[in-house]
A and B are shown apart, each in its own frame.
Chain A
């Protein structure tokens, strides 16, 4: 049994509103899996079904081989859930919350105490352990919420936007904890709105929108799909922009004479970069600034979920004035026309 989570044709609707329209994916045991999508895509709904809080209308899902509908009890024994909204008790102290969850997870008294002490320490909550949660800040509450879902060291963990509202340091701590859990053979399914987070943590990503899977792959694969790495150049004022274009533009590259920017696709090697600069130097073109741009998961997200017109937009290289480079001559002619007018 290689997959910890298997989802087949999952469907769910709220009244007439169809939220999930046949979702399929599987999560390899011991991996970190990212579920991405815009607001309202159905991420939380999927997690609620997988954690037995909600019954699907169709399709099936298993966690550790147990069906989430018919073997709900077995599923519950092996999962930890940190929902999108804090699920902790306001009147109890941080420590009491963890002790309570431990017992409800059916740990022995000794294990409950041991795990509580360890998690309070791990999440930096020792000093506030004896204070009721009413006095906690949002981030402290979030950390306790996460600690609570780890109390029984479950083998599958669902994290619905685990780092929303955390400060950068706490976020890094959380990332470390997640990586550590994954290294210890825990399977983690997480959703997030921070693409950097998904990029750093997730080995495999599924993007859903309007209840269907619109793309999936490793972060690298997804990024490669929206475009390649690019060299972005700004040509100095005194230099001949057209000459620069002739020297380095190939089909599919972008040039913007007004802003004097050129964007060239590259495989990212140093030789290639040197070659571009050499050619410009040879033709007497001076470069003002140069930067390398890698597509990010943000680009993937924006492109896939239809909030950007083209991959170029997503790459951040262009705006309305940008032109795709065509065969050099045609471009030349156009440029001349522009100078005339």
Chain B
């Protein structure tokens, strides 16, 4: 047999290097999960495309959106809904990781444990950028005519990433509090469905009953949708531009430490 190898010494780098390295290694892993699991990606595209067609052709004619055409109004809403559902994959993927044996291996390694969370969240940015592009393309195919210039497209992309980042951290929390895979699959819907429908995603909020309207006009999804819509098709933006950034940053700042804390607790790590 081959002679015993000499011990391999760990490479010497700063802790910051290893923190970034661990996150990068696990982000690449999560991205491979996305690209090799086409079912997941496909299901993410199919539902929003169906929503797009349904609203565009079935309800669209009956909805008055004032100056803009309905399809121009709709695309921002569908886009944000797609992003939210995309992020909800973090819930499921996290539960899958925690329930499979691989979490034991990760926990027994000298790595930064929270980089597993970071990996899932950063991979969501990749996934949502792709599904965002597909949604815009699908919109163009059914009559969406954006007026955005290069700067506005960049703002849309920036907000897409910020929004994804925020919602993914929230979804990570959900993945850490549910006990089963079944629960992981529906729990994010409980939050995403009301937030997308009680918003200006599909219809203007003007026709809603007073209480609902107050909620719909001030909740973060609406604000993000309004900002996207303003940049895409030139509707009035008001305060929605900076407000949407504040909301996304706020959600991230609150959810990130909670997720990290839950992860350590759930994983029953000895204090590290």
One of A72, A106, A180, A181 near B272 (C-beta < 8 A): A72
Tell me if A62 counts as interface (CB < 8 A to partner B). no
Tell me if B101 counts as interface (CB < 8 A to partner A). yes
One of B33, B101, B106 near A104 (C-beta < 8 A): B106
Say whether A89 contacts B29, CB under 8 Å. yes
Say whether A89 contacts B102, CB under 8 Å. yes
Across-interface contacts of A118 in B (CB, < 8 A): 5
Across-interface contacts of A86 in B (CB, < 8 A): 101
Instruction: A150 to B164: give the CA distance in the assembly, Å.
Output: 38
**With A106-B11, A152-B10, A183-B4 as given contacts, are A52 and B108 in contact (CB-CB < 8 Å)?**
yes
CB nearest to A173 among chain B residues = B1
**With A53-B104, A91-B32, A91-B33 as given contacts, are A76 and B109 in contact (CB-CB < 8 Å)?**
yes
Within 8 A of A (CB), among B100-133: 100-111
Main secondary structure of the interface of B (DSSP, over half): loop
Main secondary structure of the interface of A (DSSP, over half): loop
Within 8 A of B (CB), among A175-222: 176, 180-181, 183-186
Within 8 A of A (CB), among B116-172: none
CB nearest to B4 among chain A residues = A184
Instruction: A148 to B106: give the CA distance in the assembly, Å.
Output: 11
Interface size class of A (residues with CB under 8 A): 35 or more
Chain A residues in contact with chain B, CB under 8 A?
48, 51-55, 68-70, 72-73, 76-77, 79, 81, 83, 85-92, 96, 100-101, 103-108, 111, 115, 118, 122, 132, 148-149, 152-153, 155, 176, 180-181, 183-186
Listed A/B pairs (30) with beta-carbon separation below 8 Å: A48-B104, A52-B107, A52-B270, A54-B268, A76-B110, A77-B110, A83-B101, A85-B104, A87-B100, A87-B102, A87-B103, A88-B101, A88-B102, A89-B29, A91-B37, A100-B25, A104-B22, A104-B109, A104-B111, A105-B111, A106-B11, A106-B13, A107-B10, A111-B8, A115-B8, A118-B5, A149-B105, A153-B5, A176-B1, A184-B5
Chain B residues in contact with chain A, CB under 8 A?
1-2, 4-8, 10-11, 13, 18, 21-22, 25, 29, 32-33, 36-37, 100-111, 268-272
Closest 3 CB pairs of A and B: A184-B4, A108-B11, A87-B105
